[in-house]
Structure 1
């Protein structure tokens, strides 16, 4: 069980901007859609039954127990949380607007509204995690493990939290159920595309297999792609593409060796994880960068943080930096140049060059 089952707080994981089922974008549910869903919403889950359906591990048991302990929300609580989330979004927008001149009191109040909005968002998500499980379990047996279905459903739940409009009078649980279903069915559709072939291609491959068998008998060896293409009246490249299409996926859990203790995935390097030496160098570099940046004047440090996304990972143009700080693009460029020159000539900044060589 991984932490991906628990949706992170606002800002730690982006919410998808568009939900797809297959290749089709999904818009807002119609009133008729929500009316059908409302009759089927089931927020109750039988924990004992679920634990029989998934591997019995402490992590899984703990997760199911935790979501079972979180109280369900009534309609009034849903609306209250939705309004608080909306106020937080408005506060965040006001704080980001460089054209608005805010007093220290107003800025503090807006920051508090943003924090309350984040808390409300998290509570609305946590209070509906059992709803995700209730929907996900109905799609078991279609090629995806229950835990994967729950993870996909959690993405749909976060999408519902972002899009819910309390003014329309719908229960959030009804609205969220619709989005959870879209996320789960999309995931199932995408997985099925990995192994399902069009009928006409399946027939062509059958003919190719039979032709290959006849050629192998006649040639006393396996035919080449070119020989297969000649016999079938197809270009060699098309034969290669057809054979590529039928490659069977290999499970990472496939036992390897006589003992079966090792798995196929154990021998595949995870290129998403840097080697220990690289991780150590990165940690040291980040430490030295923080030290070097702390010696800069506030304005120069802020410009570099905005320009290179040192806090939020979002790199900004000089024009955007200028707009945020209320200065011209040219002035932002000058301050950036001054900051970089100061870093190059400072004792702590010069130490950063060793990491880049």
Structure 2
């Protein structure tokens, strides 16, 4: 028995998923954090679990490439974080030189001032990056110091809770005991905020890798920030690792979960999303190489799947489109306005029927009330249900033969050229 087969499955890690992950690692030779997070989408992450996964992959001889998660001040510039930007970014207007500031203010027109203001506030992504860029990245010792303050604050909060239980009323706790504890709790909360704010750019650098997955950039950042908060709460500084080494796991997991839950109207499992993206990517590559859309069979050979599987993936890749989607530049038309309802009557046919009903009504107006009623009942013009001679006879209290005679006389009257002329065109169309 090999050494790898005797290794225990990390606590909380799905056994079958781990087997597939290891097999995928052996096949590729290496794994990325995205490969692992796809398996850990619903698993509660802990530093211990992350360490065990790393150890297991290392023991199996699988390279676990986390180099893409390294973040420095150099690669967290405003321009790089917005590339590719979700929307075109307006270039910032350079500030005037201090010496000419007064002259510029005097010469600036209202239109120019409005344009300058619009440039500064038009792009929320750029505004956000500008704000978080003001906070410098932390060194290892600074992270440890903040983590220690957070830990001290949690301990102090626990002692405050014990004092509240002991005295029964927070107002009864002696100020000499409560004040230093409250101060420590507040310091811990501030340290938590500092650690979070110093790593917001890490979230942005990870979130931009998930652009094009069906969520807006700011939504990806928001979800990643929630993962960052969770990472701060779980961070164990005693292990000696840099905070970002662990934080990326929670950030990636939070974003991946959000994409799976929110990006599509019909939810698709994360592993299927990766497969769909792979097939679509290969399909685009083959389109460029062949100059045409590849057939299902050609695509299946390229991605190593059966044609039936490729067809199923292409079907899953289709996304619902709202009938309220605006069409055109004016946004006055919607997609639903251009989609034919196969069950509905065509406009031309509906108009013809309306005109026919009107013509028939005018012709019947020349009959007596009794004749008109009999014709309408016999031919279902009342409610669409044609009556028999006997049914009509019962309603009028006469025999069926008498109804037949009246009907025959009435139809002969309607067939007179003067009355039938207006209806003859409709008969010719039929």
TM superposition score normalised by structure 1: 0.48
TM superposition score normalised by structure 2: 0.41
Report the structure number with the largest CA radius of gyration.
2
Larger relative contact order (Cα-Cα within 8 Å, sequence gap ≥ 6): 1
